[in-house]
Amino acid sequence: MTDFLLRIFLEQINRIYEVIHGPTFEAKYAAWWAMQEAKDLSGEPIADEDIDFGILIIRSCLLSLQTLPSPKYPTKGALKTHPEAVEQWLYTLANDLDKSQAPDRKPSIETVQHRFFHTGYSKNYGKIRESWASLSAAVKDAHEMGLHLKDPGIPLDDTEMEVRRRTFWNLYFWDRFMCTFFGHWPLIPEGYFDIEPPHDNLQPYVTSPYILTPFTDHIFHIKIARYITAFLSPPSWTSDQYAPMTVSEFAQRFDEVITDQLPPPLWMENPDTSWDIVDPSLIIKRLRLQLLINSTKSSLYRAFTDPCGSLQPNKSSEIKGSIDPIALSHRRSLIQTTSNMISLITRLYTLVDNEGGGPPAERMFLLPIYLVDALTSLGVSLLSVKFDERRFFMGGMQTIVHPDLQTNYSLFIEGFDLLCRQASLYSLARRGWIF
């Protein structure tokens, strides 16, 4: 059973996180089973680190079970009972094993990884409080074992050090994601870590003239998280977000440090798709990165959904005085980025649905969150355009021309229809639909 579920994990799930190195994990998995069989025969007690790795195996299997049923992975002969029953049993087993360990034990990298996988498992079901608690425990253990340090003071080979970097920065990314979407305080404070970003040197597909590995898209996830922390998190953003010129400068900086640095296989437009044959998951990775980029850009422009104030109560029926053209262009950019998000989400839903054999876990959390976010900003922006047109007309002023506006309306309708269809299947989509 575990062989079957871990195959799903390595083929379909690991690409979402990449906190474990596949070849290293598989070798350790084989050795772990052999060691447990030997200990069973000798009666030797199981060490804490072996329990941690066992929990990591179970948490990986649980993430795989969230993808079932799937025509790509028939369970007949692989599972002795229904996937839901197996999932409930493994979920209880993992929690019991975790609780059974001594609170003063020294955490290992596997401790942090299995807590991180519990974070992902919980968020997929919309259990944000449980997910946040697990992420908090993972960060605490990471700090205790020195995962935040460039030099942890213990002998490590290059692969082990790279896995540590990947694990820490995955924690950092999801910490900032939770802060952005749910308003949580950051668990990892800036200035209290010196570990380098991942070197992105494991299993390279190409190293010149650019680097491309299974982790390269995550490198840009990390860069975006750092950008958000630097530009959108400080207290000054409360006022800066309403300053058109400041937002323009932030947007230009974003393109310089993120968009312009993308390697050809991850380009926003006309990407080099030749590597998709080598790594088919690049297709979804590219679209997810494009979605994150558009989402971050839309957050820059969100204060300009209604630059003329037409949706404010007690506004006159006419627009008087000049309107800042930069503010109007920011609304246009917001409409475009959120429209891009809906197009990308629609395509991702198609790629990760059950018929395609992809993990529907992405349907449960990530895509509904982005879809609700995009629909909210796009809907308010389009409504403000309509109200502006009427007020401009009443004031005898020339109406602002919005190219492709009909396409934007159509995308909004398609996106809302998609949300309605998903609402009957997944709780977060249902909450978004109600909202």
Tokens linked to 145: 């074992």
| pLDDT score for 93 | 96
Residue 142 · residue 148 · CB < 8 Å: yes
DSSP string, 17-48: H--S-HHHHHHHHHHHHHHHHHHHHHTPPPPH
Q: How many C-beta atoms lie closer than 10 Å to residue 209's C-beta?
A: 7
SS3 155: coil
Q: Which residue has the tokens 């200990």?
A: 39
pLDDT at 356: 43
What residues does 212 pair with on adjacent strands? 206
Q: What is the pLDDT of residue 354?
A: 43
* CB-based burial, 40-75: b 16+ in 10 Å, e otherwise: eeeeeeeebbebbbbbbbbbbbbbbbbbbebeebeb
Work out the percent of the chain whose per-residue pLDDT is above 90. 59
The 10s digit of each residue's pLDDT in 135-168 is 999 999 999 999 999 999 999 999 999 999 999 9
Q: 260-264 long-range CB contacts below 8 Å, 24 or more apart?
A: 261/220, 261/223, 262/220, 262/289, 263/210, 263/211, 263/212, 263/216, 264/210
Task: Please state, as a whole number, how many other Cβ atoms lie within 10 Å of the Cβ of residue 412.
Answer: 20
Which range, of 69-78, 107-116, 369-378, 407-416, averages the lowest pLDDT?
A: 69-78
pLDDT of residue 389: 74
- Write out the two tokens for 77: 């002969």
pLDDT at 422 over 90: no
Give the global pTM: 0.90
The residue-averaged pLDDT of 207-235 equals 91
The pLDDT confidence band at residue 399, using thresholds 50, 70 and 90, is: low
Q: Long-range contacts made by residues 398-404, C-beta under 8 angstroms, separation at least 24? A: 400/328, 402/332, 402/335
Q: What is the pLDDT of residue 80?
A: 83
Question: CA–CA separation, 392 vs 361, rounded Å?
Answer: 46
Q: For 419-426, what is the mean pLDDT?
A: 79
Asked if pLDDT for residue 331 goes beyond 80, the answer is yes
pLDDT given at position 357: 42
pLDDT digits (tens, 9 = 90+) for 254-268: 999 999 999 999 999
Average pLDDT, integer, range 223-252 = 89
